[in-house]
């Protein structure tokens, strides 16, 4: 074989080998960044160590908020693909590693829920169920937000009804998991103007209040159902309870501390007081602000409590793409926080070739 032919063959083989190695390298890089990376980051977290009690086992809960799945009108298709893949891998990895018994998503599940047609909303729900699918051992609950049905002035009865039918919820509902009570509130129905949405939600809230009171043998309890075991409830909703700004927070993100508008960024003070007076929550979780805040409010601030407690009510805004892991036992609280992997973290890998909640029973 001529020397020139041999050299050309060697170059061809070398070039083919280089292409194969580059392809393998690219595959490994993509596999690491889009799969393995999530396990490395999220596995750094763990459930808090607690004293186990077989007679009163803890309830493991995960909270998310403001997933804002893009719809047909806003956002580029690639942006939608990137967002949803990242949320899918983050969520599925967290569920696989931590195996929570319940997951709550605190409103604004969709970005364009208030605008889409009924068929488009059905497609939205199907995408939501695929992205946030959970095993049979985990219960998933979605709470309504303003992007799902609109702010109060936009919330038509048709929009509210289709959300409630799709997510099996009402304006205000009581959920009990292993003797731990959750009150799920539609924040948009807390306007307090007597409209069909608000009057129904307030009626449901008062009914739940009667159940709590009668479970403690307070008041006229004829024909009122009671709980097998009472403990102060956990409030879950989209809007934060009223506060003037994040200056009131014991912990908050480093953001401009602007004043919040009632019924827009936070619930009104009147509605916040009403919720506090009727159900006396021990802790409140919310979303909406997209900023982290941890706030303690003395229960005496809700003026009509018959027996104000010394301990405070903790209000925490759950930031989008942040996970709150909780071990619920039923009153004392310890916390820290952690985030899902960020796109910038993976970009740095390509370029270069923790909250926990403890609640115990009183």
* Within-domain flag for 289: yes
Instruction: Enumerate residues 6+ apart whose C-beta is below 8 A from 152.
Output: 188, 191, 193, 195, 197, 263
Q: Which of 339, 350, 357, 320 is nearest to 38 (CA)?
A: 339
pLDDT tens-place string over residues 66-75: 999 999 988 7
Residues 278 and 215 in one domain: yes
Please, are residues 50 and 58 in contact by the beta-carbon 8 Å criterion? yes
Range of the domain at 272: 171-304
Q: Identify the burial level of 352 via C-beta atoms within 10 angstroms of its C-beta, where 0-12 means exposed, 13-18 middle and 19 or more buried.
A: exposed
The DSSP symbol for 301 reads: G
Per-residue pLDDT of the chain (362 residues; tens, 9 = 90+): 565 566 566 666 667 888 888 889 888 888 888 888 889 888 888 777 766 665 677 888 888 889 999 999 887 888 888 889 989 999 999 999 999 999 999 999 999 999 999 999 999 999 999 999 999 999 999 999 999 999 999 999 999 999 999 999 999 999 999 889 999 999 999 998 989 899 999 999 999 999 999 999 988 888 889 898 898 999 999 999 988 888 777 776 666 668 889 999 999 999 999 999 999 998 888 988 877 777 765 544 444 333 333 333 444 554 443 444 444 544 344 444 555 555 444 444 444 443 334 333 33
Residues 199 and 284 in one domain: yes
Question: 3-state DSSP call for residue 322?
Answer: strand
* Within-domain flag for 14: no
* Within-domain flag for 124: yes
Q: Report the C-alpha gap between 152 and 144 in whole angstroms.
A: 12
Token pair 């319940």 is found at 102
Residues 182 and 225 in one domain: yes
Identify the bridge partners of residue 103 per DSSP, sorted by sequence position: 62, 140
Q: What is the CATH number of the domain that holds 165?
A: 3.60.21.40
Instruction: Enumerate residues 6+ apart whose C-beta is below 8 A from 211.
Output: 174, 224, 225, 226, 227
Please, are residues 146 and 108 in contact by the beta-carbon 8 Å criterion? yes
Token pair 């009122």 is found at 224
Question: Which pLDDT belongs to residue 111?
Answer: 94
* Within-domain flag for 23: no
C-alpha distances in Å from residue 21, one per residue of 15, 18, 34, 94: 10, 5, 20, 33
Structural tokens at position 230: 């009472």
Residues 335 and 254 in one domain: no
Q: Which of 134, 169, 204 is the last residue of a domain?
A: 169
* Within-domain flag for 121: yes
Q: Which of 304, 321, 341 is the last residue of a domain?
A: 304
* Within-domain flag for 16: no
Residues 134 and 206 in one domain: no
Instruction: Enumerate residues 6+ apart whose C-beta is below 8 A from 303.
Output: 273, 277
Residues 188 and 299 in one domain: yes
Residues 90 and 181 in one domain: no
Quote the pTM value. 0.81
Sign of CA dihedral 335, 336, 342, 346: negative
Count of structural domains within the chain: 3
Residues 77 and 142 in one domain: yes
Sheet strand arrangement including 312-317: 172-177, 180-185, 234-237, 283-286, 312-317, 293-298, 251-252
Token pair 């995960």 is found at 62
* Within-domain flag for 99: yes
Residues 320 and 345 in one domain: yes
Residues 119 and 221 in one domain: no
Q: Which of 304, 333, 352 is the last residue of a domain?
A: 304
Phi and psi for 218 in degrees, rounded to 5? -115, 125
Half-sphere exposure at residue 248, Cβ-oriented, CA atoms within 13 angstroms = 17
Residues 191 and 298 in one domain: yes
β-pair type (283-286, 102-106)? unpaired
Token pair 């993509």 is found at 30
Question: Which pLDDT belongs to residue 319?
Answer: 42
Residues 342 and 298 in one domain: no
Question: Which pLDDT belongs to residue 342?
Answer: 54
* Within-domain flag for 80: yes
pLDDT tens-place string over residues 97-154: 999 999 999 999 999 999 999 999 999 999 999 999 999 999 999 999 999 999 999 9
């Amino acid at each position: 074989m001529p020397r020139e032919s041999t050299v050309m063959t060697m170059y061809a083989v070398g070039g083919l080998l280089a292409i194969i190695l580059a392809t393998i390298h690219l595959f490994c890089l993509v596999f690491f960044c889009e799969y393995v990376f999530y396990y490395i980051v999220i596995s750094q977290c763990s459930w808090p160590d607690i004293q186990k009690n077989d007679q009163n086992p803890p309830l493991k809960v995960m909270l998310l908020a403001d997933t804002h799945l893009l719809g047909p009108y806003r956002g580029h298709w690639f942006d939608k693909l990137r967002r949803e893949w990242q949320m899918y891998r983050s969520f599925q990895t967290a569920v696989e590693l931590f195996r929570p018994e319940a997951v709550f998503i605190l409103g604004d599940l969709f970005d364009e829920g208030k605008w889409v047609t009924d068929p488009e909303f059905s497609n939205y729900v199907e995408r939501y169920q695929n992205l946030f699918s959970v095993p049979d051992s985990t219960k998933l609950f979605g709470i309504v937000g303003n992007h799902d049905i609109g702010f109060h002035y936009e919330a038509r009865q048709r929009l509210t009804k289709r959300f409630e039918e799709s997510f099996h919820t009402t304006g205000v509902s009581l959920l009990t998991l292993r003797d731990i009570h959750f009150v799920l509130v539609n924040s948009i129905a807390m306007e307090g103007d007597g409209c069909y949405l608000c009057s129904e939600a307030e009626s449901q809230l008062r009914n739940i209040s009667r159940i709590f009171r009668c479970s403690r043998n307070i008041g006229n309890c004829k024909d009122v159902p009671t709980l097998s075991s009472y403990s102060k409830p956990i409030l879950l909703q989209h809007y934060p309870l009223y506060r003037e700004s994040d200056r009131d927070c014991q912990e908050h993100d480093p953001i401009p501390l602007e004043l919040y508008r009632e019924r827009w960024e936070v619930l009104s003070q009147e509605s916040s007081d009403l919720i506090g007076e009727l159900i006396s929550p021990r802790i409140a979780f919310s979303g909406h602000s997209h900023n982290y805040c941890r706030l303690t409010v003395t229960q005496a601030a809700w003026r009509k409590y018959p027996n104000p407690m010394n301990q405070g009510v903790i209000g925490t805004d759950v930031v989008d793409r942040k996970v709150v892991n909780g071990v619920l036992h039923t009153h004392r609280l310890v916390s820290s926080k952690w985030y899902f992997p960020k796109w910038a973290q993976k970009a740095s890998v390509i370029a270069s070739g923790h909250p926990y909640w403890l609640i115990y029973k009183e």
